[in-house]
Amino acid sequence: MTRVIAVANQKGGVGKTTTTVNLSASLASKAYKVLVIDIDPQGNATSGLGIDKQLVEKSVYDIFSQEDSLPSIILPTEVHGLFVAPANGDLVGTEIELVQRQGREGILREQISKIDGIYDYILIDCPPSLGLLTVNALAAADSLLVPLQSEYYALEGISSLMHTMEVAKQALNRALTLEGVVLTMYDARTNLSKQIEAEARAHFADTVFKTVIPRNIKLSESPSFGKPILLYDPNSIGAIAYKALADELVKRNLLAASDKKIANS
């Protein structure tokens, strides 16, 4: 079955798109078929996967405007098994355009249903806000993955995201769960990173991934070359970390599926 994961945090600069791009590439490297759906008007996941967002003829905007369907806008990337539904600046006015539309919160879910079973994983890169585009992602997803930067004020605002998740769960998607929290921009040399990690693990317990994503210059450089870290520098500590995160994510999903099967037997 396809697992749909919304990658979201309303705070910008937390490594959300970096996590979407590099986790998806790491999953694809393990022979999974993966799709990234970019619903951030900045289109950084699109460009980070090597697609020139200025040149795309069809984008996610076209599925929200009902001019095209999701299958028709999907493009291959340089990574075998990894595909992207691209975004560009056309998305900027989408939330205003959708205000009066009936069923606006379920547009993305309906579109994803058209490709159910084709991909092993679908990762949705959300904008840094809790608006209608992010709500669409939460309505469509099986789970929410939250990148949390290891910096001051890191936990500020997470309560708003958790509240939005609960509202979406009650009103739109009762199956929605918290996939987990992943610590990003981690610097083991600083007390601050260690303090944020301790606070996150105390607050979110086992939902915090054991894998942490370190600060790494290669991770910062790779988007400017339009490449995931696995292609830009596969031996860097950033690449190693995202491969470990992918391993941990897959293991969690397999254990959850096994537990569910046992519970239903």
Check pLDDT > 90 for residue 160: no
The whole-model pTM stands at 0.95
Contact yes or no for 24/72 (Cβ under 8 A)? no
> What's 180-224 look like in SS3?
EEEEECECCCCHHHHHHHHHHHHHHHHHECCCCCECCHHHHHHHH
State the burial class of residue 183 (Cβ atoms within 10 Å of its Cβ: 0-12, 13-18, 19+). Answer: buried
Q: What percent of the chain has pLDDT over 70?
A: 98
Convert the pLDDT of each residue in 163-175 to its tens digit.
999 999 999 999 9
Check pLDDT > 90 for residue 262: no
Check pLDDT > 80 for residue 157: no
Predicted pLDDT at 206:
93
> At 154, is the pLDDT very low, low, confident or very high (cuts 50, 70, 90)?
confident
Q: What is the CATH number of domain 3-264?
A: 3.40.50.300
> At 158, is the pLDDT very low, low, confident or very high (cuts 50, 70, 90)?
confident
Convert the pLDDT of each residue in 93-143 to its tens digit.
898 998 888 899 999 999 999 999 999 999 999 999 889 999 999 999 999
